[in-house]
Structure 1
Amino acid sequence: MSTEGQVFINNDCFVYYEVFGSGPQVLLMIPGAIGTGRTDYSELLIGSNALDHDQFTLVAIELPGWGRSRPPHRQHSSNVFTNDADCCVQLMRSLGYEKFQVLGWSEGTRVALVLAANYPDLVTAMVGLAMTPYASDMQMKNISYTVDTSKWSRDLIDRYLRVYKDRHEIQQLWEQHTLFIGNFLKWFPNGICNNNYDSIKCRIFLIHGDRDKLVELDQIEHLQANIANIKVHRFPMGGHNMHLVYQQEVKLMVENFLLNK
């Protein structure tokens, strides 16, 4: 069972959300590009490999311009992750949560990282699945191969059809995202935090797939070198969506880390 709703932000846009569980540990879950809880985290939210609903209250946000947080269209700019982080905080405060933990996947890890840096007194712990703090040549090259969503697997398309009306809508949103990534180095020449991580206070757990074609190990090592309190787990055979492949392992690792076991 879940509850859902929307919160208006600055009176001109809103964010949609779903809440699963009722436990004392409050976890904000930030999806990847064009994603939602239902598309990116369904296995962690519902079913046998879901995070423990008695231990956790899981808040799955749909970032502005994606999922049901439309209109308006997503505003891609050098402020996009800061705006996303501000929306996350306004959502959580509206739900009555002043402090919380954060989990992000792919593009959502960028929002999570900015959130932890900009609001260090609110974020108590962070999990990053396929953490990507900056854009690389390999990432931009490989993401360009994904522009035509007609070549996506049926399973992947079906995930997005849980929240989007048709393939055309998915194609439009994904094209806009790949154009944004193509301009990433112009807007974020030093990464999303300008290589300044000094304000981050929370514990961080990064889960990385060594066969990820969008996130090199260099990015993980960059974060380890610049942030003090980081734990890393690597799946040697894992790809970009390792949390969908290694469902039970990821569930247990995330729970143990966030419960500080």
Structure 2
Amino acid sequence: MFFSKTKFANRMLSTQIKEKKIKISSNISINFVQSGEGPKNILCMPGALGSAWTDFKPQLEFLPKLLPEHRIIAWDPPGYGKSTPPKKNFTVNFFNKDAEYAHELMLELNSSKYSILGWSDGGVTAMILAATQNKIVEKLVIWGANASINDEDIKLLEAMRDVKTWSPRMREAMEKVYGVEGFQKLWTDWLNTMLSIYNEKGGNFCKEEVEKISCPTLIVHGKKDPMISKEHVPYLKKKIANCRYYEFPEGKHNIHLRYAEEFNKLVSEFLRS
């Protein structure tokens, strides 16, 4: 039997990627996607309301070729994607709780050491995890992330409260996962939690944890990212001791999707260094 190059590539890809559910503490069932079979481990942490497939498809599909010695694991945090039930438990400390759950997942997957790729909200969770598990997290890559939320960020988020005002391209993937009404409800709950963090904690996500990160860290930034105010990246560069920085001059918030090939190459070189 003969296959075209595309069909052959797809067939090879399908043998590398596995999607499963596994139970961690409190009987919570976590959905995750794994690609590659290497002895080293990478955990991919999605952004707000995100999941393995909505946020990391190009990494799951192509990083194994660049990093054959790694196993790439992308999860759906509890209450997101296919990790439901339970319903997402939004509290002012949900980032910290998600960091605990993520670490439990990796232990269940026999990953005693691992590196992390964290985007946006996932970058916040990743920084907390890197700080609290500094003997276990080997390397950290973050982008679109911030250690706190300020007045400018709140104004930006409030302007996005009604998802109907978003472009169809921005909301399409989430509406496929949650449905139109479900997406709006979950987004509203998330946004209200940001307001609670702003009012109750002075907007502090993880300022204390950031200063405790000791692993080699790569901060990647889209210079035209409209989702975070300008103070956040300089703050992280200053506070994370062992960090490198790379900027996409035309990049916005989703540089790992928009510039997937360049991003994957950048990340693989950092993780191999």
Q: TM-score, normalized by length of structure 1?
A: 0.91
1:60 aligned partner: 74
Q: Which ranges in structure 2 are unaligned for 5 or more consecutive residues? A: 1-13
Deviation at 1:78, TM superposition (A): 2.9
Deviation at 1:198, TM superposition (A): 4.1
**Inter-partner Cα distance in structure 2 for 1:151 and 1:259:** 42
Query: What letter is aligned with 1:238?
Result: G
Deviation at 1:161, TM superposition (A): 4.3
Alignment map for 1:80-119 (pairs within 5 Å): 80-119=94-133
Deviation at 1:151, TM superposition (A): 2.7
1:41 aligned partner: 56
**Inter-partner Cα distance in structure 2 for 1:10 and 1:24:** 25
Identity score, percent: 28
Any idea what the Cα deviations from partners look like across 1:11-37, whole Å, max 9, x if unmatched? 342221111111233110000011011
Asked whether 1:217 is paired with 2:230, we answer yes
1:130 to 116, 132, 144: 144
SS of corresponding position for 2:206: coil
2:5 aligned partner: none
SS of corresponding position for 1:217: coil
Change over 3 Å in CA distance of 1:196–1:105 after alignment to 2: closer
What is the total number of aligned residue pairs between the two structures?
258
Q: Which ranges in structure 1 are unaligned for 5 or more consecutive residues? A: none
Query: What letter is aligned with 1:111?
Result: T
SS of corresponding position for 1:11: helix
**Inter-partner Cα distance in structure 2 for 1:190 and 1:172:** 22
1:176 aligned partner: 189
On the 8 A contact 2:36/2:64 being kept in 1, the answer is no
**Inter-partner Cα distance in structure 2 for 1:162 and 1:204:** 33
Any idea what the Cα deviations from partners look like across 1:77-100, whole Å, max 9, x if unmatched? 232122111111110111110110
Query: What letter is aligned with 2:220?
Result: I
**Inter-partner Cα distance in structure 2 for 1:118 and 1:188:** 20
Deviation at 1:189, TM superposition (A): 2.3
**Inter-partner Cα distance in structure 2 for 1:28 and 1:145:** 32
SS of corresponding position for 2:231: helix
Deviation at 1:237, TM superposition (A): 1.9
On the 8 A contact 1:50/1:251 being kept in 2, the answer is no
Moved more, 103-112 or 205-214: 205-214
On the 8 A contact 2:49/2:81 being kept in 1, the answer is yes
**Inter-partner Cα distance in structure 2 for 1:104 and 1:55:** 20
2:250 aligned partner: 237
1:22 aligned partner: 37
SS of corresponding position for 2:177: coil
Deviation at 1:196, TM superposition (A): 4.7
Greater Rg, structure 1 or structure 2? 2
Deviation at 1:199, TM superposition (A): 2.9
Change over 3 Å in CA distance of 1:190–1:196 after alignment to 2: farther
**Inter-partner Cα distance in structure 1 for 2:29 and 2:88:** 12
Change over 3 Å in CA distance of 1:188–1:230 after alignment to 2: farther
SS of corresponding position for 1:195: helix
Deviation at 1:108, TM superposition (A): 0.5
**Inter-partner Cα distance in structure 1 for 2:231 and 2:100:** 28
1:120 to 130, 134, 147: 134
SS of corresponding position for 1:183: helix
**Inter-partner Cα distance in structure 1 for 2:245 and 2:215:** 14
On the 8 A contact 2:25/2:104 being kept in 1, the answer is no
Moved more, 181-190 or 89-98: 181-190
2:204 aligned partner: 191
SS of corresponding position for 2:29: strand
